[in-house]
Chains A and B, each alone.
Chain A
Amino acid sequence: MSIRYKTIKELSEMLKNNDISHPELIQETFSLIEENKNLNSFVTLNKENAILKAENINKESPSILNGIPIAQKDLFCTKDLRTTCGSNMLSSFIPPYSATVIENLEKAGCISVGKTNMDEFAMGSSNETSYFGNVLNPWGHNLVPGGSSGGSAAAVAAGIVPAATGTDTGGSIRQPASLCGISGLKPTYGRISRWGMIAFASSLDQAGPMARTAEDCAIMLNHMCSHDPKDTTSLDENIPDFTSTINDSIKGTKIGIVKEFDLSKLDNDVVKVFEESIKQYESMGAEFVEVSLPNISLSVPTYYVVAPAECSSNLSRFDGVKFGKRSELASNLEELYIHTRSEGFGDEVKRRILIGSYVLSAGFYDAYYKKAQQVRRLIKNDFDSAFKKVDVIMSPTTRGAAFEAGSKGSDPIQMYLEDLFTIPANLAGLPALSIPNGMIESKPIGLQLIGNYLDEQKILQVAHNFQKLSDWHLKTPSEDIS
């Protein structure tokens, strides 16, 4: 029985029924990885350890994740396993410790089969900035998988693993989920510990699950969340069983449509797919309400001040002194910094460090960084008012389906606008997910649901109800795609 395209729930059943043994499941997974090598979705494999773990697994464990192969975004530190963050700077970095998320998932029985490719330091929306090369979209090898969690999205979309970890700073889980036709969730900021996640923009970064279904996302989330004393921004809040309410009816649920998201600027196809979803929800008894988020149009510029500012500081530690790459060309300290960072970072990372250093510099701080943080507060307030009227807010996840590699050319602004719909949830710290809701020219596209603070349960419930009555999430790329 093939394991390809199976969900966590299905694989767990297969293991329980002895349709497949634990070691067989992992061996099969590595065969799939090998067969799909051309996708370039993995940077480093964890084969030996994964097989060893499967052979020695406690078969009595009641955890639904016991023995389930998952892929880890190469941004999470994994003890004794290379962690590159998609960068030349860390191309030989082997962390002496593991991220809390990794530990939590492995404690639940997950088997990490490898580290997935990603945009360098999570900066990008197409996985074209990785030092380790582009990731191909399983739905079309000329297409990008989205980014920055492109490798994770492609591995799940290709049916290699049922789930993978991702991180989302401005849409890095939801946008690739949309472009690869899978489900992906960015939780409330602070739900999941950031300990061991290599920081891009600390106040926006949040880890989350990427899987074939919303239900699997809920299963993953159950085990990824924890209150971690090692991360002071990690929330000390009750962690519910996220699967417990997903089957509840959504009759009467109020879904907000954002007045300021001007859909008329999108392609007709995208609008059509979105309107179909509205109809489906209406047929399930949900009510649609228009909400206004007056400051939402400032999201992208706000994000591109805050995120680069934090990144410029977070990436200062990569200086060639203690770990990671060190240039061979340097003959003094200043050259050590200049050559190491020039060689170690790619163009997009350099661009953001420059922007970030600029907006924080003396005389500009008030006009840029401080102002951006003020706008961020306004955006959060907009959401707070909106959530007094609705239970979830719905929008397309992306402006369109997957685009061709290289098609956004040299204009970074075009790439930045990819995250138009996803960025607001990061700025406001709110949970949001993307599920597949249609196809445009045989390419998947996603629907975004934004939830109220800490209310992952509601968006998961609304998403799962959709997937119970639709089959977009069941579609798989045809085998002869090239």
Chain B
Amino acid sequence: MTWETVIGLEIHVQLSTKSKLFSGGSTGFGAEPNTHVDLIDMGLPGVLPVANRDAFHKAIRFGLATNAEINQTSSFDRKNYFYPDLPKGYQITQMAMPIVGKGTIKIETEDGEKIINITRAHLEEDAGKSIHDLFEGETGVDLNRAGTPLLEIVSEPEISNAKEAVAYFKAIRQIVTFLDICDGNMAQGSMRCDVNVSVRKEGDTELGTRAEIKNINSFKFIEKAINHEIARQIKVIEAGNSVVQETRLYDSVKNETRSMRSKEEANDYRYFPCPDLLPVVISDDELNEIKSNLPELPEQKIKRYVTQINLDESEARIIAASKTMANIFEEACEKTNDSKLVAKWLVGDVSALLNKDNIDIEESKLSSSNFAKLIERITDNTISGKIAKSVLEEIWSSGDDVDAIIESKGLVQIQDETILVKIAQSIIDNNPNQVAAYKGGKDKLFGFFVGQVMKETQGKANPKSVNEILKKLLS
């Protein structure tokens, strides 16, 4: 029997606003528990929410970047349930009238490009955090995160396998980081997703019963959780049973999903329009202003790199894949005027190091200014390309400043001709046999002399000068 998988994702993107969705409380990460909490975040009696306009602007940017309908009038609803880290006993969200309607996003799959339809994207507030392991027999509540703005992006059930789900998640992450609406930091929980998975016999038109896997926050776990869940569901059906509609949790340690609550146990959230908040209306002017200030997106960057900077499309794609990489590229180009060289280093050595460590560029110790300086030191002949490689490796491990590394390791290229002539002459003098053979027509031996000079100078000699000097001395 061949099985077909149907997957839909709900991605929660934490918007990078300075203050929370309904209060002036700070959204900063990593503060002491309950220090980024104001009266509204605590849900004190008598307080009222005021919607953060910037969160709307950021949501609209996402909508515009995914060719989505923007609902210029949108409204908030209350989702009622009890939990200690939900201070008001309800979450304010957009159920009936979300700010962003139907849109699309392009993803790269093994079979080429695929368009995934986005159902909607709506604003909502995050809850706080329950801390179960800090106090013996008690649960702590940290409300720092309570009220942080989230954009929940809901896809249509059009994703066919775990790899596509990851590709979709990556595409969303790429867009939100390019739009500067989210820092994309998965480790800090800035992006999390719920995955709806169902399976059906190939050719069936009806969707199978789905299970929802909650709160996954890494690419790796998305893939593993989905694959595990698909296998589980197929096993259930093949054993003659039916899949139960339920919410499941992914356990990354055991690599399995387990039931959290069934449909029958599901909360009745008693949604209704939040009477404390008027519908938010975005004027045409406001919308146009956001449109005209939309940052350049990956596809536009690739096009510009190819047509204006003359990069190969494959190079352009690698560089424009992440906002950080693109920023590093653009800063270095500005400072050095040698964009081909900049691209060569990013696509070559830098990408190789990233692959080796299996990390993203923003997780590396390479800063855009330090990288630009590295290229500058090559183009101003302070160091050779070969030395630059070792400097890059040093940056990779220590994050130190390029000039400091060059200085402390004495890597400055030897430019002084008289010194180089002296070294070259002594090598010629000490190798009479090779000189004779070279002069007798063994041209290949030229490389031997270059190598000897480089060895003597520990690679610091300017290769171009060495070539010229040797040619002169050996003629």
Binding site for B on A (CB under 8 A): 76-77, 83, 85, 90, 93, 95-97, 99, 194-199, 201-203, 229-233, 309-310, 312-313, 315-319, 321-324, 333, 337, 357, 360-362, 365, 369
- Residues of chain A contacted by B270 (CB below 8 angstroms): 312-313, 357, 360-362, 365
Q: Are A369 and B272 in contact (CB under 8 A)?
A: yes
- Residues of chain A contacted by B278 (CB below 8 angstroms): 232-233
B78 within 8 A of A: yes
Distance of A357 Cα from B82 Cα, bound (Å): 13
15 of the cross-chain contacts (CB-CB < 8 Å) are A97-B39, A195-B47, A196-B47, A199-B45, A202-B275, A232-B49, A232-B50, A232-B277, A310-B275, A312-B80, A317-B88, A322-B42, A360-B270, A365-B271, A365-B272
Q: Are B84 and A317 in contact (CB under 8 A)?
A: no
- Residues of chain B contacted by A360 (CB below 8 angstroms): 80, 270-272
Q: Are B51 and A362 in contact (CB under 8 A)?
A: no
What class of interface size applies to chain B in its complex with A?
20 to 34
- Residues of chain B contacted by A233 (CB below 8 angstroms): 48, 275-276, 278
Q: How far, in Å, is B93 (CB) from chain A's closest CB?
A: 13
A199-B45, A202-B275, A360-B80 given; 18 more Cβ-contact pairs under 8 Å: A77-B44, A77-B45, A90-B45, A96-B44, A196-B46, A196-B47, A203-B275, A230-B50, A232-B51, A313-B270, A313-B272, A319-B82, A319-B89, A322-B141, A323-B44, A333-B84, A360-B270, A362-B268
Interface positions of B from 225 to 284, Cβ below 8 Å from A: 268, 270-272, 275-278
Across the A-B interface, the 7 shortest Cβ-Cβ residue pairs: A316-B89, A360-B270, A202-B275, A203-B275, A198-B45, A196-B46, A77-B46
Distance of A360 Cα from B278 Cα, bound (Å): 20
B87 within 8 A of A: yes
Q: Are B39 and A96 in contact (CB under 8 A)?
A: yes
B221 within 8 A of A: no
Q: Given A313-B80, A317-B88, are A232 and B44 also a contact pair (CB < 8 Å)?
A: no
Q: Are B45 and A322 in contact (CB under 8 A)?
A: no
Distance of A232 Cα from B42 Cα, bound (Å): 19
Q: How far, in Å, is B243 (CB) from chain A's closest CB?
A: 22
Distance of A230 Cα from B39 Cα, bound (Å): 12
Return the chain A residue nearest B273 by Cβ.
A373
- Residues of chain B contacted by A199 (CB below 8 angstroms): 45-46, 276
Q: Are A198 and B88 in contact (CB under 8 A)?
A: no
Distance of A315 Cα from B82 Cα, bound (Å): 11
Return the chain A residue nearest B79 by Cβ.
A313
Q: How far, in Å, is B16 (CB) from chain A's closest CB?
A: 23
Q: How far, in Å, is B73 (CB) from chain A's closest CB?
A: 14
Q: How far, in Å, is A313 (CB) from chain B's closest CB?
A: 5
Q: Given A232-B50, A313-B89, A362-B268, are A322 and B43 also a contact pair (CB < 8 Å)?
A: yes
- Residues of chain B contacted by A323 (CB below 8 angstroms): 42, 44-45
Q: Are B48 and A194 in contact (CB under 8 A)?
A: yes
Q: Are A195 and B51 in contact (CB under 8 A)?
A: no
- Residues of chain B contacted by A333 (CB below 8 angstroms): 84, 139
Q: Are A313 and B90 in contact (CB under 8 A)?
A: yes
Distance of A313 Cα from B277 Cα, bound (Å): 14
Return the CB mask of B317-334 against A: 1 if under 8 Å, else 0.
000000000000000000
Return the chain A residue nearest B88 by Cβ.
A317
Interface of B is mostly: loop
Distance of A309 Cα from B99 Cα, bound (Å): 25
Q: How far, in Å, is B82 (CB) from chain A's closest CB?
A: 6
Name the contact of B80 in the complex, choosing from A99, A232, A316, A324 (C-beta under 8 A): A316
Q: Are A322 and B48 in contact (CB under 8 A)?
A: no
Q: How far, in Å, is A445 (CB) from chain B's closest CB?
A: 33
Q: Are A232 and B48 in contact (CB under 8 A)?
A: yes
Q: How far, in Å, is A464 (CB) from chain B's closest CB?
A: 32
Q: How far, in Å, is A80 (CB) from chain B's closest CB?
A: 14
Interface positions of B from 65 to 88, Cβ below 8 Å from A: 78, 80, 82, 84, 87-88
Q: Are B141 and A321 in contact (CB under 8 A)?
A: yes
- Residues of chain A contacted by B78 (CB below 8 angstroms): 313
Distance of A47 Cα from B312 Cα, bound (Å): 81
Distance of A271 Cα from B42 Cα, bound (Å): 50
Interface positions of B from 29 to 61, Cβ below 8 Å from A: 39, 42-51
Distance of A21 Cα from B82 Cα, bound (Å): 53
Q: Are B275 and A85 in contact (CB under 8 A)?
A: no
Distance of A310 Cα from B87 Cα, bound (Å): 17
Distance of A116 Cα from B400 Cα, bound (Å): 67
Distance of A233 Cα from B45 Cα, bound (Å): 17
- Residues of chain A contacted by B42 (CB below 8 angstroms): 322-323
Please indicate which of the listed interface residues A194, A317, A333 has the most CB atoms of chain B within 10 Å of its own CB.
Answer: A317
- Residues of chain A contacted by B84 (CB below 8 angstroms): 319, 321, 333
Return the CB mask of B321-362 against A: 1 if under 8 Å, else 0.
000000000000000000000000000000000000000000
Return the chain B residue nearest A77 by Cβ.
B46
Please indicate which of the listed interface residues A201, A315, A319 has the most CB atoms of chain B within 10 Å of its own CB.
Answer: A319
Q: How far, in Å, is B373 (CB) from chain A's closest CB?
A: 47
Q: How far, in Å, is B50 (CB) from chain A's closest CB?
A: 6
Q: Given A202-B276, A233-B278, A322-B87, are A317 and B46 also a contact pair (CB < 8 Å)?
A: no
Q: Given A202-B275, A202-B276, are A229 and B45 also a contact pair (CB < 8 Å)?
A: no
Distance of A394 Cα from B372 Cα, bound (Å): 79
Distance of A239 Cα from B58 Cα, bound (Å): 35
Return the chain B residue nearest A321 by Cβ.
B84
Q: Are B50 and A99 in contact (CB under 8 A)?
A: no
- Residues of chain B contacted by A195 (CB below 8 angstroms): 46-48
Please indicate which of the listed interface residues B46, B47, B276 has the most CB atoms of chain A within 10 Å of its own CB.
Answer: B46
Distance of A197 Cα from B268 Cα, bound (Å): 28
Return the chain B residue nearest A316 by Cβ.
B89
Return the chain B residue nearest A320 by Cβ.
B84
Distance of A333 Cα from B90 Cα, bound (Å): 17
- Residues of chain A contacted by B51 (CB below 8 angstroms): 232
Return the chain A residue nearest B51 by Cβ.
A232
Return the CB mask of B407-424 against A: 1 if under 8 Å, else 0.
000000000000000000
Q: Are B44 and A95 in contact (CB under 8 A)?
A: yes
Distance of A365 Cα from B275 Cα, bound (Å): 16
Q: Given A232-B51, A362-B268, are A83 and B45 also a contact pair (CB < 8 Å)?
A: yes
Distance of A374 Cα from B51 Cα, bound (Å): 26
- Residues of chain B contacted by A312 (CB below 8 angstroms): 80, 270
Return the chain A residue nearest B22 by Cβ.
A232
Distance of A232 Cα from B272 Cα, bound (Å): 18
- Residues of chain A contacted by B49 (CB below 8 angstroms): 232
Distance of A312 Cα from B277 Cα, bound (Å): 17
Q: Are B46 and A99 in contact (CB under 8 A)?
A: yes
Distance of A87 Cα from B385 Cα, bound (Å): 77
Q: Are A95 and B275 in contact (CB under 8 A)?
A: no
Distance of A198 Cα from B271 Cα, bound (Å): 21
Please indicate which of the listed interface residues B44, B45, B139, B271 has the most CB atoms of chain A within 10 Å of its own CB.
Answer: B45
Return the chain A residue nearest B89 by Cβ.
A316
Distance of A231 Cα from B80 Cα, bound (Å): 21
Distance of A196 Cα from B42 Cα, bound (Å): 14
